[in-house]
Amino acid sequence: MQPFFEDVAIGQELPPVTRRPKLMQMVRWAGASENLHPVHYDPEVIRASGVPDALVHGRLKAAFVTEVVTNWMGTRGTLHKLSIRLLGMDFPNQELVCRGKVIGKPETSGGPVVECEIWLENPQGEVTVRGTAIVSLPHRNGS
């Protein structure tokens, strides 16, 4: 359903996106992004790095949290800006829940602009990705 600028309230939560990346999905991302660092898939390098399992790519997690906004903004919304901080490690076969909420409707922008906070929570309850997104939404009157 298309959200309209007038109907959006500060504090409103966005529908979450849940992912449980398997190693195969991470390898797919490694190929698509040409990020072939072996700590994301090679057991020897993972052991030598002292981490318990393959690391889910930070940018893949960034793509997951971005979907919270792009799914919500509808076909007439536009993503203008995205800021992402990668705060911690995540591992395959864990449920990663991406959430978001509206934190502002900056009047200084001059347009129907909405600011959202987005983040990713792992099963331990840790927030390992946090960011913001700026989107514009259509007005209800069609402008």
Partner 1 sequence: MLPQALLTAEIQSSVGVELEPDVIAVEQRMMQRILKSTGDTNPRWGEEVPPAFLLTWMMSGAKMSPRLPPALNWLMSDGELEIVSPFIGLLDGGGEWEFLSPIRLGDIITSTMRITSIRETTGRMGRMLIVTWERVHTNQRGEQVAVSRGTLIGY
Binding site for partner 1 (CB under 8 A): 19, 25, 28-29, 31-37, 39, 49, 58-60, 62-64, 66-67, 70-71, 75, 78-86, 129, 131
Nearer CB in complex with partner 1: 9/43: 43
The torsion defined by the Cα of 86, 37, 70 and 91, in degrees rounded to 10, comes to -60
What minimum distance in Å lies between the beta carbon of 22 and partner 1? 10
Nearer CB in complex with partner 1: 11/115: 115
Nearer CB in complex with partner 1: 80/140: 80
User: Could you give the count of Cα atoms lying within 13 Å of 23 in the half-sphere of its Cβ?
Assistant: 9
Angstrom distances, CA of residue 15 to CA of 42, 117, 118: 34, 13, 11
